[in-house]
Structure 1
Amino acid sequence: MLEIKPVEKKEKLSELKKQYFAQSTDPLDGMWLFGFVPISVHFGFYEEDTLVGYCCINGEGYMLQFYLANEAKTQGKELFTLIVEQNSSVIGTVNGAFVSTAEPQYLSLCLDNSSAFKVNALMYKQVNPLITGNKTDLELKLADQDQLTDFVKFAATNIGAPEQWLSGYFGNLIKRKELFGYWKEGKLLASGECRLFDEHQKGFADLGMIVAQSERGQGIATQVLSRLVSLANERGLTPICSTESSNIGAQKTIVRAGLAPLNRIIQIEFDRE
């Protein structure tokens, strides 16, 4: 008989997470994996006290990951349907899911139970060498701890993210030496991220950037991203990144930097009737 329990110590899931990554067909998005998944609530699936799977649900009631090991006696389709039909008193309400097309097993289960879906974001991976014409002398400077407030205010102003979350997020990037800034006359005009992976996807670097609203449309985004791609390539890593499906400008910039939109992040809605 299967039992569902909250998982407080996420390190218990390390082996299952490894298996989860192994079944993906392409690298998964770093922001979702290390920004959103860690702050979601995790639930373990147990058969006779043996941990055989898990899922995680964010604060809005959307599932972000679902995995059941091959050796589990429980059928994944039946368990998934039970959860999304609100029949688990432990997990509670599940409104929908976010899943990428690089997660075929999880995606299939989501589609089996979907009432509606839409593309949330495009996932990119480098498929071509950095175009010579895109190489730039634009200088990106590694951020230091004293600049944390500047980066937090910059991002809050230009993308509207909450400062408390940004402080923790950027603070961690600075400690890991993964946050860069483009400054001009003492003013921060763009931030760039070159996030590395510690356990999984070690051959990839997840890129991100923000350009000041006042500077957009002047080619800075292409220069910043091209420089980030160069930084990743210099380390022998393949760059990946993502952007919202509605952000046409960012999509053009990413393609110019030699990355292709090979996968999508899908927002699934479940029919709870």
Structure 2
Amino acid sequence: MLEIKPLETLEAINELKKQYIEQSTAPLDGMWHFGFVPMSSHFGFYEGDALVGFCCINGDGYMLQFYLSQAAHTQARELFTLIAEQNSAVVGAIKGAFVSTAEPHYLSLCLDNSSSFKVNALMYQQVAPLVSEGSTGLELTLASQDQLSEFVEFAVSNIGAPAQWLSEYFSNLITREELWGYWKDVRLLASGECRLFDEHQTQYADLGMIVAELVRGQGIATRVLDRLVNLANERGLIPICSTESSNLGAQKAILRAGLEPLNRIIQVEFNHL
């Protein structure tokens, strides 16, 4: 009989996470799976003393990951439906899920239980090396810790993310030398991220970018991305990134930088019987 228990630490599912990522058909979005997932609640699936799977639920009641090992005797579809129909007192209320098209097993289970779904974001990947005559990328400067507050204020004013979360997030990127800035006349106009993976997907670099609202539409986004793509390629890495399905400006810039939208992140709403 399978039992669902809250997980206190993520170390317990390291091997299961590895198996989960290895069965994906393309690199998973770095911000979703290595940023949002660790901050969410994890539940382990146990058969006796054996940990055979897990799921991850964010603070808004959406599932972000689901995995059941082939060693499990339980049927994945039955377990998933039990959770999706809110029949697990341990997991509690579930509204739906976020899942990428690069996760076919998880996606299939989500669709089996969906009442509706929509594309949340497009996932991009470099397919061929960027070829250009001369560098078109902007000269980016590696961020330092004494510039942290400037980056936080810049991001708060231009994308509206929470300041406390940004402070921790940017501080970590600066420590890892993964955050860059573009200044003009001592004013920060764009930030760029070239995030590396410590485990899993280590052949990829996950790119991120913010451009100040007052200079959008001037080609700065494409030039920032060009430089970030080159930074990744110089390290022998394949750049990936994602953007919201409604952000047409970012989509154009990413295409011009040579990345292609091979996959999608889907927001699924569950049937509640």
Normalising by structure 2, what TM-score? 0.99
Task: Find the counterpart in structure 1 of residue 38 from structure 2.
Answer: 38
Amino acid at match of 1:226: D
1: distance between equivalents of 2:45 and 2:161? 34
Amino acid at match of 2:237: L
Pairing of 1:29-178 with structure 2 (within 5 A):
29-133=29-133, 135-136=135-136, 138-178=138-178
**Identity of counterpart residues, as a percentage?**
74
How far did residue 130 of structure 1 move?
A: 1.1
- Between the two proteins, the alignment pairs up a number of residues equal to 273
Equivalent residues of 2:57, 2:64 under 8 A apart: yes
Amino acid at match of 2:154: F
2: distance between equivalents of 1:31 and 1:163? 17
2: distance between equivalents of 1:53 and 1:175? 33
Amino acid at match of 1:213: E
1: distance between equivalents of 2:58 and 2:133? 42
1: distance between equivalents of 2:99 and 2:82? 18
Q: Are 1:13 and 2:13 matched, yes or no?
A: yes
How far did residue 134 of structure 1 move?
A: 7.6
Q: Are 1:264 and 2:259 matched, yes or no?
A: no
Equivalent residues of 1:121, 1:245 under 8 A apart: yes
How far did residue 165 of structure 1 move?
A: 0.7
SS in 1 for 2:46: strand
Amino acid at match of 2:247: N
Equivalent residues of 1:39, 1:58 under 8 A apart: yes
* CA deviation string 1:200-252 (max 9, x = no partner): 00000000000000111111111000000000000000000000001111111
RMSD: 0.9
How far did residue 138 of structure 1 move?
A: 1.9
2: distance between equivalents of 1:242 and 1:101? 13
Amino acid at match of 1:41: S
User: Which ranges of structure 1 fall in alignment gaps of 5 or more residues?
Assistant: none
User: Which ranges of structure 2 fall in alignment gaps of 5 or more residues?
Assistant: none
2: distance between equivalents of 1:254 and 1:23? 27
Equivalent residues of 1:181, 1:188 under 8 A apart: yes
2: distance between equivalents of 1:75 and 1:134? 55
Amino acid at match of 1:260: E
Equivalent residues of 2:7, 2:43 under 8 A apart: yes
